[in-house]
């Protein structure tokens, strides 16, 4: 399809996007994340209280992640880049969107495969599959202490302004696999321009504002259906 201007398709994803890759969601497992209370392993207080537990927790998550693969949903999002200018905004800290080949990915809650200096000026370092583990004593070449590059509860979300600007420019907005329980990520839907179509793909959808088109399916099934619908809209002659 010869498109000079590709419509801007903004897709906001949550843990449900990675469920079919075998990565557990947060609120489907009764509030425990891999047998831990989220506030013990993903909050600023938890990290101050027991940094060794937090480092060990994210080490285990990285070992799980390198064994996981992007799923058909991640690939469907990449395929949509043929006809749309696709921007992904994700609450997920995994790198499955990147590994699937998505061109534009903004992480609101950090990135599991990266670490950063604890003190400013913050420097971020990428880990590799053969170097996944950190401890409270891990330091960079300048001797500066390192921590997981994760936005903990009780911490600011540095990328939220960037994400809001992206959503403001969306021609189509899609939310996938999130319980919409955590802010400010859940507020992104409020920044869509009037008249822009909004879709929500989730097998157990949370309540949404009027006008949102809900597709109560998994990410892979829902994206297959949505891709067909969006492409059929694109192929219709402009009014
Ligand atoms: N496909 C699509 N969605 C799915 C699938 C699937 N196969 N399986 C489950 N879901 C949906 C669930 O119905 C639920 O609505 O994924 C959503 C997961 O919700 P949460 O576990 O609350 O995850 P999320 O919304 O991403 O959590 C937000 O909370 O714990 C913090 O920082 C953490 O980023 C996380 C944030």
Q: How far is the CA of 102 from the centre of ligand 1 (A)?
A: 20
pLDDT at 238 over 90: no
Say what the pLDDT of residue 197 is: 97
Q: How far is the CA of 22 from the centre of ligand 1 (A)?
A: 13
Q: Which is the closest atom of ligand 1 to the Cα of 93?
A: 34
User: 20-24 long-range CB contacts below 8 Å, 24 or more apart?
Assistant: 20/71, 20/72, 20/73, 20/218, 20/219, 20/220, 21/68, 21/69, 21/70, 21/71, 21/74, 21/94, 21/96, 22/64, 22/68, 23/64, 23/65, 23/68, 23/94, 23/96
What is the pLDDT averaged over residues 167-194? 97
- pLDDT range class, residue 29, cuts 50, 70, 90: low
pLDDT at 3 over 60: no
Q: How far is the CA of 237 from the centre of ligand 1 (A)?
A: 37
What is the pLDDT averaged over residues 103-121? 97
Catalytic residues: 109
What is the pLDDT averaged over residues 177-205? 97
- pLDDT range class, residue 235, cuts 50, 70, 90: confident
Pocket lining: 106 vs ligand 1, CB cutoff 6 Å: no
- pLDDT range class, residue 32, cuts 50, 70, 90: low
Pocket lining: 24 vs ligand 1, CB cutoff 6 Å: no
Helix (H) or strand (E) holding 229: helix 219-235
What is the pLDDT averaged over residues 221-237? 94
- Span 49-101, pLDDT tens digits: 999 999 999 999 999 999 999 999 999 999 999 999 999 999 999 999 999 99
Pocket lining: 25 vs ligand 1, CB cutoff 6 Å: yes
The residue nearest atom 8 of ligand 1, judged by CA position, is: 16
Q: How far is the CA of 208 from the centre of ligand 1 (A)?
A: 15
Q: How many CB atoms within 10 Å of residue 61?
A: 21
Say what the pLDDT of residue 26 is: 82
- Span 8-23, pLDDT tens digits: 999 999 999 999 999 9
Q: What is the pTM of this model?
A: 0.96
| Largest separation between any pair of C-alpha atoms in the chain | 63
What is the pLDDT averaged over residues 212-232? 97
Q: Which is the closest atom of ligand 1 to the Cα of 201?
A: 2
């Amino acid at each position: 399809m010869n498109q000079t201007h590709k419509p801007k398709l903004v897709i906001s994803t949550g843990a449900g996007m990675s469920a079919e890759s075998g990565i557990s969601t947060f609120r489907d497992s009764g509030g425990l994340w891999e047998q831990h209370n989220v506030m013990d392993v993903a909050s600023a207080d938890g990290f101050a209280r027991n940094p060794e537990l937090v480092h060990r927790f994210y080490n285990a998550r990285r070992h799980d992640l390198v064994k996981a693969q992007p799923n058909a949903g991640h690939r469907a999002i990449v395929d949509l880049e043929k006809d749309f200018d696709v921007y992904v905004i994700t609450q997920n800290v995994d790198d499955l969107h990147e590994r699937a080949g998505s061109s534009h990915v903004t992480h609101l809650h950090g990135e599991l495969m990266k670490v950063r200096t604890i003190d400013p000026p913050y420097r971020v370092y990428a880990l590799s599959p053969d170097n996944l583990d950190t401890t409270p004593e891990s330091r960079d070449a300048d001797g500066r202490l390192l921590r997981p590059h994760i936005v903990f509860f009780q911490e600011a979300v540095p990328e939220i302004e960037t994400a809001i600007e992206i959503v403001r420019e969306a021609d189509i907005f899609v939310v996938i696999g999130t319980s919409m329980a955590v802010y400010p990520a859940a507020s992104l839907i409020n920044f869509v321009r009037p008249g822009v179509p909004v879709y929500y793909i989730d097998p157990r959808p949370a309540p949404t504002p009027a006008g949102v088109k809900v597709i109560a399916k998994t990410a892979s099934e829902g994206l297959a259906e949505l891709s067909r619908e969006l492409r059929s809209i694109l192929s219709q002659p402009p009014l």
